[in-house]
């Protein structure tokens, strides 16, 4: 059964700002490292780009309204089945980011730590909302074979795209993603995301399959692979959701 943030049920109008927590109703989430992508493929990944164009007008907005039209609801609200494709991921992230009335009361920006909360978890996708204060960034990482999408709801983030080289990841290019930008990235995409501006940024991220452990670069540039994730990657098979959930706990 999907786990849905109250904001996606049209229930959230304002939430208390509790330092160090999301202040939300979902179970405690592990460190929500997240992703972005560029408008062009620089690492051989399938990468798409677009713009946030949706607007749901005034009044309460909920998940049903967000997913109305087409097959998006049926694609997203599944307990099992094939992962989503990039087009669906970017559409989902873009719709959420375009609905400012949804994320604005929820998002927080803390100077000492990147803020995040999970908006949605189903058997085929997870969606995160992330608040970036100036200077905050992820480590260099990939998404363990999952596809991803990033939509910039507010501000600007940059992405330092990396590529494999001799058993490590090396920087290749930097892409700038401003408000309204929606991008998707392929299964072998490697990057770090950073807010290099002087103002806060807010992003929405969608990943499919959900809860696949990230992989991080070590200090020497070599690639660290969590044991559970390594087994999945070696076999080329992704574990059932419940097993991935266990594997993801230590890595995110």
Find the residue with minimal CB distance to Fe ion: 35
At CB < 8 A and 24+ separation, what contacts does 167-170 make? 167/222, 167/223, 168/217, 168/220, 168/221, 168/222, 168/223, 169/140, 169/142, 169/217, 169/221, 169/223, 170/221
Name the residue nearer to Fe ion (CB basis): 35 or 84: 35
Question: Residue 5: how many CA atoms within 13 Å on its side-chain side?
Answer: 27
Q: Which is nearer to Fe ion, 47 or 77 (CB)?
A: 47
Q: Which stretch binds Fe ion (CB under 5 A): 30-38, 44-52, 104-112, 121-129?
A: 30-38
Dist CA 223 CA 31 (whole Å): 19
Nearer to Fe ion, 35 or 248 (CB): 35
CB of 57 to Fe ion, least distance (A): 32
Q: How many residues bind Fe ion (CB under 5 A)?
A: 1
Least distance between Fe ion and beta carbon 64 (Å): 29
Contact by Cβ (8 Å): 93, 149: yes
Please identify, using beta-carbon distances, which residue of 35 and 228 lies nearer to Fe ion.
Answer: 35
For position 217 contacting Fe ion by CB under 5 A, the verdict is no
Q: Near Fe ion by CB under 5 A, which window of 18-26, 32-40, 113-121, 151-159?
A: 32-40
Question: Smallest distance, Å, CB 35 to Fe ion?
Answer: 2
Q: Which residues on neighbouring strands pair with residue 120, listed in sequence order? A: 4, 127
Closest separation in Å from C-beta 24 to Fe ion = 22
CB atoms within 10 A of CB 216: 18
161 burial type by CB count under 10 A (0-12 exposed, 13-18 middle, 19+ buried): buried
109 annotated as belonging to a binding site for a ligand: no
The footprint of Fe ion on residues 33-92 (CB under 5 A) is: 35
Binding mask 174-193 for Fe ion (x = CB under 5 A): --------------------
| Rounded distance between C-alpha atoms, residue 161 and residue 150, angstroms | 14
CB burial of 175-204 (b: ≥16 within 10 Å; e: otherwise) equals: bebebbbbbbbbeebbbbbbbbbeebbbbb
Minimum distance, C-beta of residue 9 to Fe ion, in the bound complex (Å): 27
> Minimum Å distance from CB 118 to Fe ion?
15
What residue ranges bind Fe ion (CB under 5 A)?
35
- Give the residue ranges of the annotated binding site: 141, 143, 191
- Give the residue ranges of the annotated binding site for Fe cation: 141, 143, 191
């Amino acid at each position: 059964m999907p786990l849905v943030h109250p904001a996606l049920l049209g229930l959230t109008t304002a939430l208390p700002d509790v330092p160090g927590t999301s202040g939300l109703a979902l179970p405690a989430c592990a460190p929500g490292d997240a992703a972005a992508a560029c408008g062009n493929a620089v690492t051989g990944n399938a990468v798409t780009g677009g713009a946030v164009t949706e607007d749901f007008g005034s009044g309460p907005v909920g998940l049903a309204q967000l997913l109305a039209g087409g097959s998006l609801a049926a694609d997203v609200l599944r307990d099992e089945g094939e992962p989503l494709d990039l087009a669906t991921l970017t559409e989902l992230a873009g719709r959420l980011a375009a609905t400012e009335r949804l994320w604005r009361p929820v998002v927080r920006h803390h100077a000492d730590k990147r803020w995040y909360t999970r908006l949605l978890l189903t058997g085929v996708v997870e969606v995160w909302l992330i608040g970036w204060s100036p200077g905050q960034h992820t480590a260099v990482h990939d998404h363990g074979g999952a596809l991803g999408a990033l939509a910039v709801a507010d501000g600007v983030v940059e992405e330092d795209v990396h590529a494999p080289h001799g058993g490590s990841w090396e920087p290749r290019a930097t892409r700038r993603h401003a408000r309204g930008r929606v991008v998707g990235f392929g299964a072998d995409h490697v990057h770090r995301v950073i807010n290099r501006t002087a103002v806060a940024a807010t992003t929405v991220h969608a990943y499919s399959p959900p809860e696949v452990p990230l992989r991080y670069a070590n200090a020497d540039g070599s690639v660290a692979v969590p044991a559970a994730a390594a087994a999945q990657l070696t076999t080329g098979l992704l574990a059932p959701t419940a097993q991935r959930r266990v594997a993801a706990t230590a890595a995110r």
